[in-house]
Structure 1
């Protein structure tokens, strides 16, 4: 399998035509707060998305990219093979690199149905989908003109990204594409001045933003090389925002860049450093700490790994509901990952999680979608969020005598659970006490709606549970 560099593509989509002084349209360094709020509004309102990691690795049930036992040139652990490392990243099964790289020859997911994937996400209450267009293993899940190592050269042949983005667009589902700048397959990755690979990957990102309709999120995943001089981030961001002025980007576009050596002086400008931090940060495999000042999204897998690892080891629906609640009240989003089988179907456990969460959200969605975290700090008890004149308390663990919270700068007019259970409350200038009878408490979370005499401003913090 070879990497191809298509001259016609470069002439059609010329790179290098942007310079550092032509970044006036890049929002991260130019937009006002009001403009940013408008651009980020749908993302902040959505709260819940589907992450999908998938590729030929599903055939062997090994972890995507990380299960490939081959040298990683100038990258993780100085390029050593995973099997030679003491720290194994929690993965217990590796296959030789040559075998891993040949799996595409057998990848034929005949049961893949993009419409069904999107319907499952909708049934779960998810508001957007982020799909792996290319992971660290260099395999492209779409028809790229810049590499032969793609879905086009599998027995399946069909363009997965095309079918999935079309299915999303048909029903108004927001679309995100994951793209790993790090590439352990590409022969030019981090070689010399990296100009060949840098041009290649920017070309692939341009393909994704040009050929697949509206793409709402580009979800980068680390560059690997630590030398800022090896990457033309100014040209990348200028191109992306020329293609889509409303694009949202995560914080990993320049992750793992230096400085690490005397020769590497770090980001060439403060603008580029700010720009590459993107629009939201991405706690991985954990719930982010409460932060209502910045946008964030926790990405967490339901199964044993990011890609298909068999039919066992899945989180329960109750655990996933609690994760969504913790992200929402903490000011962030939950991007919940599924790893489809090699035939293109979701596992039974993933489908069960999706259906259970969707059912829960039919009742409790008002306390999730469109809310903002706060005004009470999260804790083992749970957390709070608000929208309009409603304040929602999500109680995971009840204190023995009910909730006693710091004083609220608004009058509580009424209180109820979202299943119309009875709520008692008392309010003074010193505290707010709230309780629900044991018979009306619910698992995995009790949700209480307080109606206030005024709205709370986003970013309000008034205290916590005493």
Structure 2
């Protein structure tokens, strides 16, 4: 064994240990800097099949996004640590080029021998989720599907002889069998591709590292590479509902406005467009009605908007989803701190009342199973939705969507719902009160938890609901109480 090889091997082992000891410190910073801001412009689709699919998607309300790749092996933030920008922290004793070699070398270690997509799909169904977005490729360029365009893929490492090596296929199949709408996450930038990060030059930031205007041939190769990979996903992996494109800095130069500049990310002087009209035409020919989510690139290929790691302050009439994580990270990180089921339920209620859907991020472990704590949280969320889902699924907004910690939705048949969120750790009061959305005089109000009628009165502009004894005074049992009633039209 050469001294150079021994030194790199020892450095690699030391670095894995140091990364594991960092726990959440680095990912927390990176999560903030790597966030995609929500575009404020929206262009509604005109294709009738897309419009119909979009309405179907808006009925689902609750989805699961799965980030799983090389980054799960050491348990670090997805991709970003191989990007050389000044907000990213790495071990200062390791040279940047050595770090990239180490990171990409994780493809030799990623062997998820307990890969169990049925467990994922079952846990998601138990949680009340109804659509999936699976990361087929993140910015690091490692493919979780059997692409023919590169050897940097899950089917070319230690997992290659597993009968389920073509991971994406089995994930999509498992969720499809549970009745989920299916979405493929795909990163437009690919930092492993020589046509994006050309080895001839350094890689100073997240963008292409050469001047496209001077090297048009090379960028044309990248556009064809991107087209071919998306074509594989659209033609070889069954029915698709959503093409979820990440990496919004890869975009036509003319779409870079003050809103984009405000992100603070480096912006080159040339266009990094990948020919979305051509990609969309091919994708929708293969998958009629396909929703395309070209994140933050406002225009005809951003069929819904995607605010990340936040819930908008106000109601939004355009189709949108909040992308939030169950833990502090998108992918698996050891000792991650998971949100309580109550917190997630409250976020879901708020998002839906404001007109959106919640896409919750859960990262499988490197062995291919979900963390036990994540599965437990998901089951708790699902238990609440089993009883109260009528106030969430297939609903739309009301003009008066919130009064304090009570939120309002309405069903397509005109039924109105009030959802009173109970603060974590607090005792359920004897009465719940809200202003606005008053029930029709003389009508009955039901508690969705058990379908039983509850007494209510109107006192001035205030609605006062009297809770039954088996509910009032309880603590920790009811994250939120949902009521159904009719209102005067």
* Normalised TM-score (structure 2): 0.73
CA distance in 2, matches of 1:437, 1:453: 23
Name the residue aligned to 1:240.
283
Residues 180 and 223, structure 1, Cα contact 8 Å, conserved in 2: no
425, 438, 441: which is aligned to 2:456? 425
Change in 2 beyond 3 A, CA 1:322/1:361:
same
Residues 407 and 432, structure 1, Cα contact 8 Å, conserved in 2: no
Name the residue aligned to 2:146.
143
Corresponding residue SS for 1:38: helix
2:415 pairs with 1:390: yes
2:54 pairs with 1:30: no
How far 1:102 sits from its partner (Å)? 0.6
Name the residue aligned to 2:99.
96
CA distance in 2, matches of 1:401, 1:362: 24
Give a deviation string over 1:321-378, Cα, whole Å, max 9, x none: 1111111111111111111110001111110111111111111111111111224233
Question: For residues 269-418 of structure 1, what are the structure 2 equivalents within 5 Å?
Answer: 274-276=299-301, 278-387=302-411, 388-396=413-421, 402-406=432-436, 413-418=443-448
CA distance in 2, matches of 1:379, 1:222: 37
Change in 2 beyond 3 A, CA 1:31/1:37:
closer
CA distance in 2, matches of 1:223, 1:195: 19
CA distance in 1, matches of 2:222, 2:488: 58
How far 1:188 sits from its partner (Å)? 1.3
Count residues with an aligned counterpart.
390
Name the residue aligned to 1:3.
none
Change in 2 beyond 3 A, CA 1:346/1:161:
same
Corresponding residue SS for 2:358: strand
Residues 188 and 196, structure 1, Cα contact 8 Å, conserved in 2: yes
CA distance in 2, matches of 1:274, 1:364: 36
Q: Where in structure 1 do 4 or more consecutive aligned residues deviate above 6 Å?
A: 398-401
**Structure 1 segments unaligned to the other structure (5+ residues):** 1-26, 72-76, 86-93, 256-272, 455-466
CA distance in 1, matches of 2:252, 2:303: 23
* Normalised TM-score (structure 1): 0.77
**Structure 2 segments unaligned to the other structure (5+ residues):** 1-42, 92-96, 197-207, 254-270, 423-427
2:223 pairs with 1:198: yes
Name the residue aligned to 2:238.
213
Residues 404 and 432, structure 1, Cα contact 8 Å, conserved in 2: yes
Corresponding residue SS for 1:425: strand
2:56 pairs with 1:42: yes
2:190 pairs with 1:183: yes
